[in-house]
A and B are shown apart, each in its own frame.
Chain A
Amino acid sequence: MTGRIVLPDTEPERPPEPPPHGPIVWAHENLFSTVASGILTVVVGTLVVLFLVGVLGFIFGADRRWDAVFFNTRLMMTQAYPEDQYFRVWLSLGIIVSLTGLSLAVWQVGGRVSLNRITRLLSSIGAGLIGLEVLGPFSIRARVIGILIGLVLIGGSYLVKRAAGERAKQETIPLMAIVGIVPALGVVALYVLRIPTRLAEDNYAEQVLAPIANSTRIPITVLFVVGVVAYSVGVLMLDRMPNATARVALVGLWVLSLPAIVLTILRDPELDYDKILAIPGFQEGYLWWAVIFAVGGSLLITYLGSPARGEGGRAIGGLLVVVALASWGVSMLVLIRLFLLFLATFALAAPTFGGGEGRARARIVGLWVMTVAAAAYFVVLVSGPSTVQVQTTFFIGGLFLSFILAIFGIVLSFPLGVLFALGRTSSMPIFRLMCVAYIEVVRGVPFITWLLTAIIVFPIFLPLGVQVSNVVAVLVMTVLFSAAYLAENVRGGLQSVSGGQIEAAKALGMTTAQTTVFIILPQALRAVIPALVGQVIGTFKDTSLVIIVGLFDFLAIARNVIPNQRVPFNNLDALTEPLMYAALVYWIFTFSFSRASQRLEKKLGVGER
């Protein structure tokens, strides 16, 4: 019934002429197009070369001593985590690596790249290597080897490109196969490299070059294999199960694994089974409370989610919110308070998102039972003391502490930031005013001030008998602080969603909550990915400020491990290598994050509506 428009298929007779190209054309167009620009190119080029010679000479110079970094690796990673418990650290890393491998495969990160691009990448690496060897302060032998490798890379990629011919543009290779080479080379390096090693525990002067210890290289090799296996399993999974299911399952695993790693594996809590299994009272009986809430909550959610109830069931949800908030004023298990809070949220959401289908309601009930189980599990774990005996305020420090603060800070502040953004753009004046006040106050005061506030002022407002460790106080502050900034970024996204979208959703009879969740937020968040990534990177780097309140994060330890190993000792000079090392580690993480987000942006097609 519709007329389809058919375009006449007149292919042009001869193929289009290729535009003029080649390095000489490029240089002429971009570097020497006029006399002035030629002079500018020569002058700036000379300055850049001189700058690079200086910087490389500083970094790779003969008087750099990296032994401080090698000696203290363990300290910088985990602070004083007991050596005999180190398998817990490796196990945690193993979980993270396998989840990363699975996620990379299931989300098809990177996709496939053309042979053409790979050869271009390889020859630029070769050129970079040659440049590095020429400009840097290396021995003749190192220079010759480096330049040879560079030439092999350039020549090899040229030959491959020649051999492939026209196919080089169509032939594709999974990007991960290329990216995977980097950790593979790292693992090989573990067995080839020799690092400065002390001859005796307390003798810093006498050092020899020795192979890396097996206790380091074997776990890392295993981790690499685990990562590769996980990625392959992920690729196989892609063919066997619906993609959406795999993604939801993986997100769930990530969310669960983070507290599981921190609270159980690393913390190794001591459990009080008498309290857990006791007859339920307001101070004990964790297990039975969980059962009571799981069953009772399921019944309530089923009742509220049935289509016959309609949206009127929200009143019960509202009542539950009041009860849940009031429960914080009464002495009882924290677990019960949490359960009430969660139940109120579920009761509010059930009428809108429960769906009339039996299966949709079964899903939300299943989610409730899992929430109860997870909450009970983690609260029980946290309430037991840690068996990891360390003489500091927290059982772990170093890079691991930085990660814990960054990951939890980002993950927890995200929903809060979205809520504040929605509040700030809401049509309810009181709500809006509260959110504006919160955001402006938090953003108007330096983060360090807030950190000190968290340690000194917060405890005054806590209910009697409740104590929080410094790490928890700092984490809460990170979340609250980051949420204010996130809120402003998300608000930008909310404003970019056109009014027509909201009208279309409303015209279909969707409620405000449904419109927000299904229409506004997905588009708003997609529009502000660059700003959100900037915020995430900022949060990660800001974790280095916690030294102010006495927590030893990665940078803090890098600054503190130094003053012993250099004879004659010079404090300022001795800081150089660990600081460069810290900078490199921070840079590797933030840079890979920014690259990954750029690919994500491309994949979600920002800007092509």
Chain B
Amino acid sequence: MADLGQDDIIICEGVKKWFGDFQALTGVTTRIKEQEVVVVIGPSGSGKSTFIRCINRLEAHQEGTIVVDGIELTNDLRNIEKIRAEVGMVFQQFNLFPHLTVLDNVTLAPLWVRKTPKGESDAQAMQLLERVGIPEQAEKYPGQLSGGQQQRVAIARALAMNPKIMLFDEPTSALDPEMIKEVLDVMKELAQSGMTMIVVTHEMGFAREVADRVLFFDYGTIVEEGTPEHFFTSPEHDRTKLFLSQIL
């Protein structure tokens, strides 16, 4: 597996997590390098969403250690806020703020968390909206946009904090088929620009094309991992073979 190099930006050791009596993570150990694009796949209920939500501590893990960018995740609130500012997240349901315009959605966090001056954050937000292809929608409200456009705004909003890592939690699962491509295009461009990304998705084409590494989750742990070629052509584990035979 990954060596102990200096460029490991996320280190997970035996991460375990329970929801009541149900064990969602049964011991996840992995390291993710800077600029690496990791795609997480697996059947529903396998713990893949819980895993990436532990990385920015939207869920608190109960055993094991998670170190992000050299900071260990503990209950220390200040560390958590610091890490969340460095880790962008894109949700399945977009979670844009419906009472704010697209521009305000993007500038809110830079203004109040990074304390960026208004003019600067506005200019940066317009740049990002241009990058995701919707600068003309800046003054509209999220409710006036299509699902694909909303998800692209959500990506711009996360990028506005200049994060070191981007987490994607099934970013295309709530979209109409004709809108999936526009979101995946933005994500591909992001991967090519050298962003560290962890993507939970059911888009196998995206995994094959963009991922550096694929993690296959089941029963709350990593069952198999490897490069996309290895993973899709010669999987070793029976569980992986069964999963792939069902979806491909």
A residues in contact (CB < 8 Å) with B: 1-3, 5, 307, 311, 352-353, 355-357, 359-360, 498, 500-501, 503-511, 514, 518-519, 522-523, 526, 605, 608-609
Pull 8 A–B residue pairs with CB atoms less than 8 Å apart, ordered by A.
A2-B182, A2-B185, A2-B186, A355-B112, A356-B117, A359-B117, A504-B97, A508-B113
For residue B109, CB closer than 8 A to chain A, the reply is: yes
Contact of A519 among B81, B86, B97 (CB under 8 A): B97
Chain B residues with Cβ under 8 A from A359's Cβ? 117
**Identity of the chain B residue whose Cβ is nearest the Cβ of A518 in the assembled complex:** B108
Q: Check A508–B157 contact: CB distance below 8 A.
A: yes
Residue of B114, B115, B132, B161 most packed against chain A (CB within 10 A): B115
Q: Check B178–A5 contact: CB distance below 8 A.
A: yes
Q: CA–CA, A506 to B82, complex, Å? A: 11
Given contacts A503-B91, A519-B97, A526-B99, contact A353 B112 (CB under 8 A): yes
Q: CA–CA, A518 to B105, complex, Å? A: 11
Q: Check B182–A500 contact: CB distance below 8 A.
A: no
Consensus secondary structure, chain B interface: helix
Chain B residues with Cβ under 8 A from A307's Cβ? 115
Q: Check A608–B143 contact: CB distance below 8 A.
A: yes
Chain A residues with Cβ under 8 A from B86's Cβ? 509
Chain B, interface residues (CB within 8 Å), range: 35 or more
Q: Check B178–A357 contact: CB distance below 8 A.
A: no
Q: CA–CA, A508 to B109, complex, Å? A: 6
Chain A residues with Cβ under 8 A from B56's Cβ? 507
Q: Check A508–B161 contact: CB distance below 8 A.
A: yes
Distance from B40 Cβ to chain A, minimum over Cβ atoms (Å): 17
Query: Which of B79-120 touch A at CB < 8 Å?
Result: 81-82, 84-89, 91, 93, 95-99, 108-109, 111-118
Chain A residues with Cβ under 8 A from B97's Cβ? 501, 504-505, 518-519, 523
For residue B158, CB closer than 8 A to chain A, the reply is: yes
Q: Check B118–A504 contact: CB distance below 8 A.
A: no
Residue of A505, A507, A522 most packed against chain B (CB within 10 A): A507
Contact of A500 among B82, B87, B93 (CB under 8 A): B93
Q: CA–CA, A109 to B207, complex, Å? A: 52
Q: Check B109–A510 contact: CB distance below 8 A.
A: yes
Contact of B78 among A311, A514, A518 (CB under 8 A): A311
Q: Check B143–A609 contact: CB distance below 8 A.
A: yes
Q: CA–CA, A518 to B85, complex, Å? A: 17
Given contacts A506-B58, A509-B82, contact A355 B115 (CB under 8 A): yes
Residue of B88, B97, B99, B114 most packed against chain A (CB within 10 A): B99
Distance from A303 Cβ to chain B, minimum over Cβ atoms (Å): 16
Distance from B193 Cβ to chain A, minimum over Cβ atoms (Å): 12
Contact of A522 among B99, B112, B133 (CB under 8 A): B99
Chain B residues with Cβ under 8 A from A514's Cβ? 112-113
Distance from B107 Cβ to chain A, minimum over Cβ atoms (Å): 11
Distance from A159 Cβ to chain B, minimum over Cβ atoms (Å): 39
Distance from B28 Cβ to chain A, minimum over Cβ atoms (Å): 20
Q: CA–CA, A519 to B105, complex, Å? A: 10
For residue B7, CB closer than 8 A to chain A, the reply is: no
Q: CA–CA, A511 to B80, complex, Å? A: 10
Q: Check B133–A508 contact: CB distance below 8 A.
A: no
**Identity of the chain B residue whose Cβ is nearest the Cβ of A307 in the assembled complex:** B115
Q: Check A1–B85 contact: CB distance below 8 A.
A: no
For residue B189, CB closer than 8 A to chain A, the reply is: yes
Given contacts A311-B78, A357-B117, A359-B117, contact A500 B112 (CB under 8 A): no
Distance from A154 Cβ to chain B, minimum over Cβ atoms (Å): 40
Q: Check B89–A507 contact: CB distance below 8 A.
A: yes
Chain A residues with Cβ under 8 A from B182's Cβ? 2-3
Chain A residues with Cβ under 8 A from B189's Cβ? 1
Q: Check B98–A523 contact: CB distance below 8 A.
A: yes
Contacts beyond the supplied A311-B78, A356-B115, A504-B154: 5 A-B pairs with Cβ under 8 Å: A1-B189, A307-B115, A357-B115, A500-B91, A507-B158
Given contacts A1-B133, A355-B115, A356-B116, contact A507 B185 (CB under 8 A): no
Contact of A503 among B88, B95, B109, B181 (CB under 8 A): B95
Q: CA–CA, A69 to B133, complex, Å? A: 67
Distance from A258 Cβ to chain B, minimum over Cβ atoms (Å): 27
Chain A residues with Cβ under 8 A from B58's Cβ? 503, 506-507
Chain B residues with Cβ under 8 A from A311's Cβ? 78
Distance from B50 Cβ to chain A, minimum over Cβ atoms (Å): 13
Chain B residues with Cβ under 8 A from A523's Cβ? 97-99
Q: Check A508–B84 contact: CB distance below 8 A.
A: yes
**Identity of the chain B residue whose Cβ is nearest the Cβ of A517 in the assembled complex:** B112
Chain B residues with Cβ under 8 A from A355's Cβ? 111-112, 115
Contact of A508 among B98, B141, B158 (CB under 8 A): B158
Chain A residues with Cβ under 8 A from B133's Cβ? 1-2
**Identity of the chain A residue whose Cβ is nearest the Cβ of B105 in the assembled complex:** A504
Q: CA–CA, A359 to B96, complex, Å? A: 28
Chain A residues with Cβ under 8 A from B85's Cβ? 508-509
Chain A residues with Cβ under 8 A from B96's Cβ? 504
Distance from A509 Cβ to chain B, minimum over Cβ atoms (Å): 3
Q: CA–CA, A308 to B113, complex, Å? A: 13
Q: Check B81–A511 contact: CB distance below 8 A.
A: yes
Task: Give me the 8 closest cross-chain CB pairs, A-B, nearest first.
Answer: A356-B115, A509-B85, A504-B95, A508-B109, A507-B89, A2-B133, A509-B84, A500-B95
